Amino acid sequence: MTAPITPRRIVIAGGGTAGWMTAAAIARTLGRVADVTLVESDAIGTIGVGESTIPPLVTYNRLLGINEAEFMRATQATFKLGISFENWKDVGETYFHSFGGTGQDHWSAGFQHFWMEGLQRGHDAPYGEYCLELKAAEAKAFAHLPDDRVNYAYQLDSSLYAKFLRAMAECDGVTRIEGRIAAVERDGESGDIARLRLDGDRAIEGDLFIDCTGFRALLIEGALHAGYDDWTHWLPCDSAIAIQTGSVRPPLPYTRVIAHEAGWQWRIPLQHRQGNGIVYSSRYMDKDAALQKLLGTIEGERLVEPNVIRFQTGARRKQWSHNCVAVGLSGGFTEPLESTSIHLIQRAVLRILRMLPAGPVSPRDVAEFNDQQMVDMEQIRDFLVLHYKVTNRRDTPFWRHCAAMAVPASLEQKIELFRDTGRVFRKNEELFAENSWVQVMMGQGITPSTHHPVAAKLTDDELAKFLGGLRESVARTVGALPPHADYVARYCGAATRTAA
């Protein structure tokens, strides 16, 4: 006879995108092995501006068995092929950070080395001409292709995504409890969290607690005092204002990120509306000036009042402490410049599932989890700092500060290696691929001094045929793609278009 299963009692504190991504994944993966309870209060708002994502979310949804078209209809989503960076290298200049690869790599060297060899021999086509996703974005075109040839992510309504995941999680057995957390009670002997005390003197006990309470970090910091590393000296922006507006044109298959005198603005096109926001350093711009700048550049009818957000970039020193794991903003914040907020939730959730204890929490699991989480966040941090540091802008005190600031040694090594040799080396399971670093470093103004000698072995005819063939293949594929807006309407068009 099969022994009865005693399910692990997992308590998730907080809802929103982080809470419901966690609940849905655990319930669908573990089934009756886990007893999952999520505590949230409708009276407590969520940040809810993480609307632009990166390709790993496609994989995450597939792991959970989510039908893509159904998910996109429910979240009013559009497809995303990358990010247009405007005014970053300098005022009036634009480059594109696309998903996927560019050209064709050799096992000994990335495609950028062959492209640079081509420049020396008179082949002056821009680097982006060899990238399918970039050219499709420029053409405002999209379609799924065989063998997943187009790399993409989503632009979505994060509050609707949380709602979609909640329905899925509750169908899979997750219990939602409405209420405010009044106190976090710890076991006097072990120091573990024993229970959450809710308003009305209700108590929720558990074996493992997951902190999805956002910037408040009620469990991991408020109760367990895990500590926080402040990265403001590298990522100087500390404030944001978000606002939603009605759509005035067909949605673009990419996100726009537009630098200004003290930070940057975003524009994220969904099916039913557009997400807009401004990120800025309060040291160089006050709230009123930021709001005026944002309101002066938005398009369409304002659907909500501006949402003002203060934040401190950095990472929780221990994202797993005792029997509590931080997921989402409670674990740290690296600002949304490269759309990594939802990805970091995803990484933490999948890591929890891989390391979920069958019995008592293992200190070895805790140490490994914290090390992997910190490595993830530091690698993403370096990629974000790159955008601020490597720039020709010196037109305002903010940009002069960014150009002069010292950067982490790990980033300095990547920058100088690429500047000297055109090479990029990634470590472990680093999120951003070689092509991402190449696109951003060249887009921000770095021209490598040399490139790999393997590219020189091609004859002029061989190099011309190689480069020309790649460009022709990209152009032919893009030319056959339908307009992005038409494809979205056919594939996943929402039945109604109402403001969220």
Mean pLDDT of 299-319: 95
Residues in the chain, how many? 500
**Closest by Cα among 472, 458, 473 to 117:** 458
Q: Does residue 249 belong to any structural domain of this protein?
A: no
Residue ranges in 95-229 assigned as alpha helix (H): 111-120, 132-138, 158-171
Same domain, 437 and 339: no
Same domain, 349 and 202: yes
Q: Does residue 376 belong to any structural domain of this protein?
A: no
Same domain, 339 and 475: no
Same domain, 133 and 173: no
Residue 477: in which H helix or E strand, if any? helix 460-479
Q: Does residue 85 belong to any structural domain of this protein?
A: no
Region label for 298, one of left (φ > 0), alpha (ψ between -120 and 50) or beta (otherwise): beta
Same domain, 340 and 224: yes
Q: Does residue 213 belong to any structural domain of this protein?
A: yes
State the pTM of this model. Answer: 0.94
79-128 pLDDT, tens digit per residue, is 999 999 999 999 999 999 999 899 999 999 999 999 999 999 999 999 99
Q: How many domains does the chain have?
A: 2
Angle, nearest 10°, between helix axes 363-389 and 409-421?
50
Same domain, 207 and 344: yes
Mean pLDDT of 454-462: 96
Strand, helix or coil for residue 41: coil
Same domain, 108 and 171: no
Domain with 176 in it: 8-51+157-230+314-361
Same domain, 166 and 205: yes
Q: Does residue 133 belong to any structural domain of this protein?
A: yes
CATH number of the structural domain spanning residue 183: 3.50.50.60
Same domain, 166 and 132: no
Same domain, 447 and 321: no
179-226 pLDDT, tens digit per residue, is 999 999 999 999 999 999 999 889 999 999 999 999 999 999 999 999
Q: What whole-number distance in Å separates Cα of residue 356 and Cα of residue 132?
A: 40
Same domain, 178 and 132: no
**How many of the other CB atoms lie within 10 Å of CB of 219?**
28
Residue 492: in which H helix or E strand, if any? helix 484-492
Same domain, 226 and 351: yes
**How many of the other CB atoms lie within 10 Å of CB of 10?**
24
Quote the pLDDT of residue 43: 76
Q: What whole-number distance in Å separates Cα of residue 73 and Cα of residue 53?
A: 16
**DSSP codes, 415-445:** HHHHHHHS-----TT-SS-HHHHHHHHHHTT
> Which two three-digit tokens encode residue 149?
């040839």
